[in-house]
A and B are shown apart, each in its own frame.
Chain A
Amino acid sequence: MCVAVPAQIESIEGQKATVNLAGARADVAVTLTPEAGVGDYVLVHAGFAIAVVDPEEARKTFSILREMGALDGR
């Protein structure tokens, strides 16, 4: 029942990762997603990554990822 956003992992140190969504960065715990690695897309909720998402599926599902791509050709 909560707000969660997709973001890409930029770096991981132990149980903490820095994720980036269109230049907005957050420090999140990856305790619940041990399989996540740098470059992976994760779903972030209240300071936690709660799931790993396939990048293609992520782009199809989340309009903000498409908007980013459209605006700066990433």
Chain B
Amino acid sequence: MSATSAIRDRLLAAWARLGGGPERACQIMEVCGTHTVAASRSGLRDLLPEGLRLISGPGCPVCVTDQSYIDRAVHLARRRAEVTVATYGDMVRVPGRDGSLEEARAAGADVRTVYAAAEAVALARRRPDRHVVFLGIGFETTAPGAAMAIEQAREERLTNFSVLSSHKRLLPVMRALLAEDDVRIDGFLCPGHVSVIIGSAAFQPIVARHRVPCVVAGFEDEQILLGVERIVRQLADGAPAAENVYPPVRPEGNPIAREVIERVFVPADDRWRGLGDIPDSGLAVRETFADFDTARRFDLPPEESYELPGCRCGDVIAGRLLPTDCPLFGRRCTPGSPVGPCMVSSEGSCAAYYRYHYRGR
């Protein structure tokens, strides 16, 4: 018997103990885009008993970023001839008011895909005639890299590198989700790699306050299934807890990584697609590093939020809607012609559903 089927058997046993079924349904939210993709790609959703749903939340950094951010990035790419926009691949196709970064590139703007923030610094080092703007998105896993890039740039006295930060913090958005009335969350499957940084103990206050299971899991099939099994077991036992099944994660996380983040960034109120303004949920570049903060180096258009017409990404992100329930899904909105970021981003829920589940009906 494979390890996965052994875990599944234990899951079914715990589910039976809980009395779970179509009449007594249960929703577990995974707040990590990588979990969304992994669950879909591995076909794991098929293995869950009826009534047990794994719904995705605001785990895709590209998707949760407000529209105004992409517009500012496109503005820099198109209107500032000396700017090179360096970004992770996912951002390139997100549609903004003035098109996407990919379209800007086709029109002659200098937009480059990078694998890491350090690459963006290397670009700035090689090209003193360009100002490299690094689009800093992601949760606590990517923030240390961006922070170190800024410190590196300062050490080298580069004057042509800055970060447009839209980094997000996990715990504030989890609290905000629990405060929403219209989404049922019976447990959280917590992100393995963010937890490597913040530690599995970080979820204890949420468990204490809201009595909701929080289990950290990695991204392999067995890991996800194990995480789900632990949540259901906690529910069956009536004993919600902060638990971890992913070996690289320690209760205290990675203190050095957190120190790096704290040196360069400061928590700031931030706006999330679909969830509005959440206090302290973002990371802004500290005053001391002002020279490396794109928002201070450039005159950027004001941050105006708006909804893309007809787009329900916000509701998908908040867990109110499954991708397949969106009226545009598979019709007006497809990976080839996406309306919103959830379909564009490789970690977006809609993209994952379309790519791995969509049968065209």
Binding site for B on A (CB under 8 A): 1-4, 29, 31-34, 43, 45-48, 50-54, 57-58, 60-63
Contact = CB atoms under 8 A, between A and B. Distances in A.
16 contacts: A1-B32, A1-B138, A1-B191, A2-B142, A3-B34, A34-B256, A45-B142, A47-B117, A47-B119, A50-B197, A51-B250, A54-B247, A58-B247, A61-B220, A61-B223, A63-B220
B70 to A, nearest CB: 18
A73 B3 CA distance: 21
A29 B148 contact: yes
A27 to B, nearest CB: 10
Given A47-B115, A51-B249, A54-B247, A1 B218 contact: no
A54 B260 CA distance: 24
A46 B115 contact: yes
Given A46-B117, A51-B196, A1 B141 contact: yes
How many of chain B's residues touch chain A, expressed as a range?
35 or more
A43 B194 contact: no
B5 interface: no
Contacts of B256: 31-34
Nearest to A54: B247
B59 interface: yes
Contacts of B8: none
Given A32-B260, A47-B119, A60-B247, 16 more contacts: A1-B32, A1-B33, A1-B138, A1-B139, A4-B193, A4-B196, A29-B148, A32-B254, A45-B142, A50-B144, A50-B196, A50-B197, A51-B249, A58-B247, A61-B246, A63-B221
